[in-house]
Amino acid sequence: MAAIALVCSLVLVQAETEKADQPARRESALKLKKDGNWKQAYEAFSKLAVDPADDPKQVEHDLNNAIDCLRRLGRLEEVDAFRERVIAAHGKNWRLLRAAEFTRGPHRGGRARYANSYERDRIRALQLMQQAVAAIAREKDEPAVAQFHMDLANMLLANRGYDEAWRLQYLSDLTELPDYEEGYYYYRGGGRGAPVGPHDSRRLAEVQYHFASFLHHQFGVQTMQQYRWYFARAYQEDDSKKDESGTYALHTLGEDETIARLATGIKRFKLPKEFDFIRIFKDVADGKSYAEQSLDTLARMFENRRQYPKAAEYWKQAIERFGEGRNAWRRKRLDQIVANWGMFESILTQPAGRGAGVEFRFRNGKKVSFTAHEVDVKKLLDDVKAYIKAGPARLDWDRMNIADIGYRLVVKGQSQYVGRQVASWDLELKPRPRHFDNRITVSTPLQKAGAYLLTARMEDGPNGPGNTSRIIIWVADTAIVQKPLDEQSYCFVADAVSGRPIPKANLEFFGYWQEYVRDDNRGAGHYVVRTRNFAEFTDADGQVFYEPKENDNRYQWLITATTPDGRLAYLGFTGVWTGRHYDREYNEVKYYTITDRPVYRPAQKVSFKIWANQAQYDREGPSPFAKQNFLVLIRDPKGEKVFEKSYAADEFGGFDGEFTLDKEATLGVYRVELTDRKRTVGHFRVEEYKKPEFEVTIEAPKEPV
**Above 50 in pLDDT, residue 105?**
no
Rounded to 5 degrees, φ, ψ at 409 are -75, -40
Number of other CB atoms surrounding residue 630 within 10 Å: 22
**Above 50 in pLDDT, residue 15?**
no
**Looking at residue 8, what is its pLDDT?**
44
Prediction pTM value? 0.62
**Looking at residue 408, what is its pLDDT?**
86
Instruction: Report the candidate in 623, 617, 659, 667 with the shortest Cα–Cα distance to residue 642.
Output: 659
pLDDT band per the 50, 70, 90 thresholds, residue 243: very low
**Cα end-to-end span (Å), the chain:** 83
Asked whether 653 and 613 are in contact (CB, 8 A), the reply is yes
Angle ∠(293,298,300) on CA atoms, nearest 5: 95
Q: Helix 2-34 crosses helix 59-73 at what angle (to 10 degrees)?
A: 50
Non-local (6+) Cβ contacts of 427 within 8 A are 367, 368, 369, 370, 442
Question: What is the spatial distance between Cα 558 and Cα 485, in angstroms, rounded to a whole number?
Answer: 19
Asked whether 477 and 380 are in contact (CB, 8 A), the reply is no
Range of lowest pLDDT (76-90, 130-144, 328-342, 581-595): 130-144
Matching fold, domains 21-203 and 358-476:
no
pLDDT band per the 50, 70, 90 thresholds, residue 166: low
Tens-digit pLDDT profile for residues 552-603? 788 899 999 999 999 999 998 888 766 666 667 778 889 999 999 999 999 9
Question: What is the spatial distance between Cα 606 and Cα 613, in angstroms, rounded to a whole number?
Answer: 23
One-letter amino acid for residue 89 of the chain:
A
Tens-digit pLDDT profile for residues 439-489? 999 999 999 999 999 999 999 999 889 999 999 999 999 999 999 888 888
**Looking at residue 191, what is its pLDDT?**
33
- HSE on the CB side for 51, CA within 13 Å? 21
Asked whether 49 and 96 are in contact (CB, 8 A), the reply is no
| Pick among 1.10.3470, 2.50.20, 1.25.40, 1.10.10: CATH of 21-203 | 1.25.40
Q: What is the CATH number of domain 588-686?
A: 2.60.40.1930
Question: What is the spatial distance between Cα 456 and Cα 407, in angstroms, rounded to a whole number?
Answer: 16
Give the largest CA-CA distance in the chain: 129
Fold of 213-338: 1.25.40
**Above 90 in pLDDT, residue 95?**
no
Q: Check residue 105 and give left, alpha or beta (phi > 0: left; psi -120 to 50: alpha).
A: left
Tens-digit pLDDT profile for residues 506-549? 999 999 998 888 877 766 778 899 999 999 999 999 999 988 88
Asked whether 410 and 468 are in contact (CB, 8 A), the reply is no
Rounded to 5 degrees, φ, ψ at 100 are -80, 0
Instruction: Report the candidate in 108, 104, 107, 96 with the shortest Cα–Cα distance to residue 121.
Output: 104
**Above 60 in pLDDT, residue 326?**
yes
Number of other CB atoms surrounding residue 271 within 10 Å: 18
**Looking at residue 337, what is its pLDDT?**
96
Domain extent listing, the chain: 21-203, 213-338, 358-476, 487-574, 588-686
Range of lowest pLDDT (288-292, 394-398, 415-419, 439-443): 394-398
Non-local (6+) Cβ contacts of 493 within 8 A are 478, 479, 480, 481, 501, 502, 505, 507, 538, 542, 543, 544, 561, 569
Question: What is the spatial distance between Cα 258 and Cα 215, in angstroms, rounded to a whole number?
Answer: 11
Q: How far is CA 577 from CA 305, 510, 530, 556, in A?
A: 52, 15, 18, 10
Rounded to 5 degrees, φ, ψ at 179 are -75, 165
One-letter amino acid for residue 227 of the chain:
Y
Angle ∠(27,33,36) on CA atoms, nearest 5: 145
Helix H or strand E segment including 262:
strand 257-262
User: What is the percentage of the chain residues whose pLDDT exceeds 90?
Assistant: 47
pLDDT band per the 50, 70, 90 thresholds, residue 53: confident
Non-local (6+) Cβ contacts of 363 within 8 A are 340, 341, 342, 431, 432, 435, 436, 437, 438
Q: How far is CA 298 from CA 162, 220, 235, 244, in A?
A: 19, 11, 22, 23
Asked whether 403 and 571 are in contact (CB, 8 A), the reply is no
Question: What is the spatial distance between Cα 705 and Cα 702, in angstroms, rounded to a whole number?
Answer: 9
| Pick among 1.10.10, 3.10.450, 1.10.3470, 2.60.40: CATH of 487-574 | 2.60.40
The DSSP call for residue 680 is E
Q: What is the CATH number of domain 358-476?
A: 2.60.40
Compute the average pLDDT of residues 280-308. Answer: 95
Question: What is the spatial distance between Cα 469 and Cα 457, in angstroms, rounded to a whole number?
Answer: 7
Instruction: State the alpha helices, DSSP H only, in 339-486.
Output: 377-389, 397-400, 405-410
Q: Which residues pair with 520 in a beta bridge?
A: none
Range of lowest pLDDT (204-208, 287-291, 666-670): 204-208
Rounded to 5 degrees, φ, ψ at 652 are -95, 5
Question: What is the spatial distance between Cα 580 and Cα 328, in angstroms, rounded to a whole number?
Answer: 60
Instruction: Report the candidate in 232, 220, 316, 333 with the shortest Cα–Cα distance to residue 275.
Output: 220
Strand 350-351 relative to strand 468-476, pairing: parallel
Q: Helix 201-219 crosses helix 142-157 at what angle (to 10 degrees)?
A: 10
**Looking at residue 100, what is its pLDDT?**
59
One-letter amino acid for residue 24 of the chain:
A
pLDDT band per the 50, 70, 90 thresholds, residue 164: low
The DSSP call for residue 412 is S
Helix H or strand E segment including 362:
strand 357-363
User: What is the percentage of the chain residues whose pLDDT exceeds 70?
Assistant: 82
Select the highest-mean-pLDDT range: 43-52, 174-183, 356-365, 477-486.
Answer: 356-365
pLDDT band per the 50, 70, 90 thresholds, residue 80: confident
**How far is C-alpha 484 from the chain's CA centre?**
36
